[in-house]
Structure 1
Amino acid sequence: MAMTMKGEVALPADRETVWAKLNDPEILKASVPGCQELEQVGDNAFRATVKLKVGPVGAVFKGAVELKDMDPPNGYRIVGQGEGGIAGFAKGSARVELTDAVEPAGGCLLRYEVEADVGGKIAQLGSRLINGVASKTAEQFFANFAAAIKN
């Protein structure tokens, strides 16, 4: 089942600081809800383990994430895939774009556009439930990320 999601978030730091934090494995691990492991395995490649619950289905997804089309400090594309055993699989990509926020607030505006495909038991739960969980997970990620930027 394919899904798309996009949005934007104002962050309380300049673009260079946000860029640095977006490329820090420890910050990302702390920001991703349910992330149990995020290990850098190459210049722009990571191995991840994330525990998720979608409705009645819970699973631990193990997969790989790669950062592509790097354009510091303006953005990149994230490509990833993961397997969750009988729960199913997830794969997709996200375009992340950073711009300076308009004064007087200052800071940085992060825009994202996600395309994902899920299959297996999770896909059988229906698009409404999956989209709701995806939106909530994205909101939690950005709340965690904004908190990490302040520290």
Structure 2
Amino acid sequence: MPRIQLSPLDTTHALFIIELVNSPGWLEFIGERNVKSREDADAYIRKIESNPAVDYWVIELVTSGEPVGIVTLIQRDYLQSPDIGFALLPAFEKQGYAFEAVSLFLNDFFSVSTNKEIHAIILDHNRPSIQLVQKLGLVFSDRIEVNGEQLSLYSKKIT
């Protein structure tokens, strides 16, 4: 039986988003989003919902519906194919939830999308994320600079 399910992000997830984007891992590896209040979270979520290049899916526990993390798909201007991302609340890290969620998402993505390539851009010191994308079959393909920051680009192509 699956432990998690994915649901589209919406404003009902505002309190969860406040907690997630202010967690130590998010701040270190993704960056400050200045989401401190319910109003900030609602605005952040509406901005995501209004951007056709961005999709956020909430990872929820099947047993309780509790949100524990997110999977993101972003079509970035500097990449030809979308970038997959993920983040979990600290209490749910290192329990396999990210692997389950991203695997589920990628299976759906590759079965319905005409795009058969996916990327992940990761800071070099984010070893857990690098290990996870490698476990998912993405391989290092390039070093890129974005906003003055050096990132590693991992890719997976389905033929």
Tell me the TM-score normalized by structure 2.
0.31
More strand by share: 1
Tell me the TM-score normalized by structure 1.
0.32
More helix by share: 2
